Amino acid sequence: MSDDQLMKNIQTLIQSAGEDPHRDGLEKTPERYLKAFKFLTSGYAKDPNEVINGAIFDVPYSEMVIIRNIEVYSLCEHHLLPFYGKIHVGYLPQGKIVGLSKIPRLVDVFARRLQVQERLTVQISECLMQALNAFGVGVVMEAYHLCMMMRGVEKQSSFAQTSSLLGDFRNPATRAEFFNLIK
């Protein structure tokens, strides 16, 4: 579908809300919304493996590597409303590490798609596990969902927490160390 047709559809949506899409303030909204939506779903155009493959290094490091408090923004696939929060990612290297900046980039690849938090958490962990052949990967996400805050149950203080633990992160001691370190 062309951008012109998409903008006409957005105009129709604005009209269906009872607004005049040609009034000052709304006249350029379809164009702005389309640009924002393309940015918020830009992860479909990126290959997660390409994002990290150029930055995998042979390093004999065997302790846990953790990146905490990675800001994340995504769109709920059920309501097309944002959810946002923080992701904590850890892994146990098996002779290979990844450049630290690649982990937040990987998070953005998956977050910039229509998502549910549960899938997003798993996609990140599985991708890292496969790319690094790590002993284990742990991902924890805490997010606020506007579909719960602005509509539906309207609970502004509620947030969802999900985790995906693979390999050695399923070991109770490793799990406990990871959860303790990301507090």
Instruction: Kindly list the catalytic residues.
Output: 76-79, 117, 145, 147
Whether 44 and 37 have beta carbons less than 8 Å apart is answered as no
Q: Where are the extended beta strands (E) located within the chain? A: 56-58, 65-76, 82-92, 96-98, 114-115, 136-145, 160-167
Distance of CA 161 to the CA centre of its chain: 13
CA distance 122 to 140: 10
Half-sphere exposure of 46 (CA within 13 A, CB side): 21
Whether 29 and 21 have beta carbons less than 8 Å apart is answered as yes
CA distance 80 to 147: 8
